[in-house]
Structure 1
Amino acid sequence: MRVLSLRTLNRTLLERQFLLERTSLPAIDIVRHLVAMQAQEPNWPYVGLWTRAEGFAHKELTDLYEDRAVVRGTMVRRTQHLAAAEDFAWLRPTVQPVVRGALAHGYFAPHVEGLDTEELAAAGRELIRGGDLTRAALGRQLGERFAGRHGARLASVVELLEPVVYPPPNGVWGAWGNRTTTPLALAHDWTGVPTATRPDPRTMVTRYLAAFGPAGILDVQAWSGLTRLREVVESLPLRMFRTVDGKELYDLPDAPVADAETPAPVRFLPAFDNAALGHKDRTRLISDADRRRIAPVAALGVPLLLVDGFVRGSWSFKDGALRITPFRPLGRAEEDAVLGEARSLFGFVAGTGAPEDIAVEA
Structure 2
Amino acid sequence: MTVLDTRALNRATLARQMLLEHADVPVLNAVAHLCGLQAQEPQEPFVGLWSRVRAFDPATLSDLLVRRSVVRTHLMRRTVHLLTAEDILAWRARHDAMLRQRVLGVYRGELAGIDLDELAAAGRAVLADGEPRSMTELARALADRWPAPGPRALGEMLIAALIPVAQLPPRGLWRTRAGVRNVVLSSWLGRDIDPPAPAGSDPVGAALVRRYLAAFGPAAAADLRAWCGLAGLPAAVAAIRGELVTFRDERGRELLDLPDAPRPDPDTPAPVRFLPAFDNALLGYHDRSRIIDDAHRGLSVAGARVVLVDGRVAATWSVEAATVIVTPLRRFSRADRSAVAEQGRDLAAFLSDGDSRRVRVAAAPR
User: Which category describes the TM-score, using the shorter chain as reference length?
Assistant: over 0.9
1:68-100 Cα distance to aligned partner (Å, 9 max, x none): 000011111111111001101122222222211
Question: For residue 360 of structure 2, what is the aligned residue in structure 1?
Answer: 359
The residue type paired with residue 341 of structure 1 is Q
| 8 A contact 1:210–1:252 mirrored in 2 | yes
Question: For residue 70 of structure 2, what is the aligned residue in structure 1?
Answer: 70
Q: Does 1:333 align with 2:335?
A: yes
| 8 A contact 1:302–1:314 mirrored in 2 | yes
The residue type paired with residue 72 of structure 1 is R
Q: Does 1:221 align with 2:225?
A: yes
Q: Does 1:112 align with 2:118?
A: no
The 1:149–1:312 alpha-carbon spacing in structure 2 relative to 1, beyond 3 Å, is closer
What's the CA shift for 1:351?
3.0
1:86-132 Cα distance to aligned partner (Å, 9 max, x none): 10112222222221113433x42233222222121111112223152
Paired residue secondary structure (1:255): coil
Match of 2:192 among 181, 188, 194: 194
| CA distance in 2 between partners of 1:136 and 1:174 (Å) | 25
| 8 A contact 2:110–2:148 mirrored in 1 | no
The 5 Å alignment of 1:8-27 reads 8-27=8-27
| CA distance in 1 between partners of 2:218 and 2:149 (Å) | 47
The share of aligned pairs that are identical, in percent, is 41
The 1:25–1:122 alpha-carbon spacing in structure 2 relative to 1, beyond 3 Å, is same
| CA distance in 2 between partners of 1:2 and 1:277 (Å) | 25
| 8 A contact 2:283–2:301 mirrored in 1 | no
Question: For residue 128 of structure 1, what is the aligned residue in structure 2?
Answer: 127
What's the CA shift for 1:344?
0.8
Paired residue secondary structure (1:19): coil
| CA distance in 2 between partners of 1:287 and 1:152 (Å) | 36
CA RMSD, 1 decimal: 1.8
Question: For residue 54 of structure 1, what is the aligned residue in structure 2?
Answer: 54
Question: For residue 208 of structure 1, what is the aligned residue in structure 2?
Answer: 212
| 8 A contact 2:104–2:111 mirrored in 1 | no
More deviation, 129-138/282-291: 129-138
What's the CA shift for 1:38?
0.6
| 8 A contact 2:166–2:184 mirrored in 1 | yes
What's the CA shift for 1:239?
1.0
Paired residue secondary structure (2:101): helix
**Residue ranges of structure 2 left out of the alignment (5+ in a row):** 198-203
Q: Does 1:170 align with 2:168?
A: no
What's the CA shift for 1:140?
2.2
What's the CA shift for 1:299?
3.8
The 1:207–1:114 alpha-carbon spacing in structure 2 relative to 1, beyond 3 Å, is same
Question: For residue 324 of structure 1, what is the aligned residue in structure 2?
Answer: 326
Q: If the length of structure 1 is used for normalisation, what is the TM-score?
A: 0.92
Match of 2:237 among 214, 233, 242: 233
| CA distance in 1 between partners of 2:318 and 2:304 (Å) | 8
Question: For residue 284 of structure 1, what is the aligned residue in structure 2?
Answer: 290
The residue type paired with residue 35 of structure 2 is V
1:239-293 Cα distance to aligned partner (Å, 9 max, x none): 11111332111011221211111111110011111111111111111111222xx
The 1:21–1:150 alpha-carbon spacing in structure 2 relative to 1, beyond 3 Å, is same
The residue type paired with residue 222 of structure 1 is A
1:133-168 Cα distance to aligned partner (Å, 9 max, x none): 232321221113434552343222111111112010
**Residue ranges of structure 1 left out of the alignment (5+ in a row):** none
The 5 Å alignment of 1:82-97 reads 82-97=82-97
| 8 A contact 1:143–1:152 mirrored in 2 | no
What's the CA shift for 1:336?
0.9
More deviation, 58-67/123-132: 123-132
| 8 A contact 1:266–1:337 mirrored in 2 | yes
Paired residue total: 353
1:172-208 Cα distance to aligned partner (Å, 9 max, x none): 2236xx74x3211111111123212115211111110
More deviation, 34-43/226-235: 226-235
| 8 A contact 1:142–1:155 mirrored in 2 | no
1:26-85 Cα distance to aligned partner (Å, 9 max, x none): 110000001121111001001000000111121111101100000011111111111001
Paired residue secondary structure (1:133): coil
| CA distance in 1 between partners of 2:205 and 2:21 (Å) | 30
